[in-house]
Amino acid sequence: MFGIIRHLFSAWAWQMALRDSRPVRWRLMMFSASIVFGVAALVTIGSLRQNLNDAVGGQAKSLLGADLMVSSRQPYTKETEALLADLGSDGGEQAREVSFTTMLSVGNTTAPKLVSLRGLDGAFPFYGNIVTTPADAWQKVADEPGVVVEASFLKNMDAKVGDMAKIGDLELP
């Protein structure tokens, strides 16, 4: 066995390999380059994936605003309600969210726009802050009924902060 390995590293073996590869050297270089670039791409993608997972994992609480989220497209069963109540019985805070798509009009606009609406109940967020303009808008909505909308929505609707928002028959500041 060691004799075969010794022959692989002899000068004669390398000279013969170079001589035999002359007619196809370009193909050999292309084949080697494709392997090198393929491995480099896999390593880069793996590294990017790991960095992204680390970044999201490090900010998961702030992004979610909580430790745990339970969601369902249908109303919770009584067993699920009991389980959720039991989870909060040890002093943990809970918040409820209902989200749906509806039509919303603001101010003097007659044409309502389709929006994704989120209704929140409880002390949300548990981690991080919600940044609004004006700065106290989120606190005002937490204390009394109201809406917070994106700035782009106000611009599209030609409305301003403080205008009344109408969702069906419900009007909110």
pLDDT range class, residue 173, cuts 50, 70, 90? confident
Using CB atoms within 10 A of its CB, is residue 165 exposed (0-12), middle (13-18) or buried (19+)?
buried
Structure tokens at 96: 């409820």
- In the chain, where are the structural domains located? 2-58, 78-172
pTM of the predicted model over 0.85 = no
37-95 pLDDT, tens per residue?
999 999 999 999 999 988 887 777 777 777 777 778 888 889 988 888 887 767 677 77
Contact residues for 97 (Cβ-Cβ < 8 A; gap 6+) = 118, 119, 120, 121, 124
Q: What proportion of the chain, given as a percentage, has pLDDT over 90?
A: 14
Look at residues 165, 129, 128 and name the one whose alpha carbon lies nearest to residue 149: 165
Q: Where are the alpha helices (DSSP H) in 120-169?
A: 137-143, 151-157
CA distances from 172 to 28, 104, 107, 143 (A): 72, 11, 11, 13
- Residue given tokens 């205008």 in the structure block: 163
- Asked if residue 36 has pLDDT above 70, the reply is yes
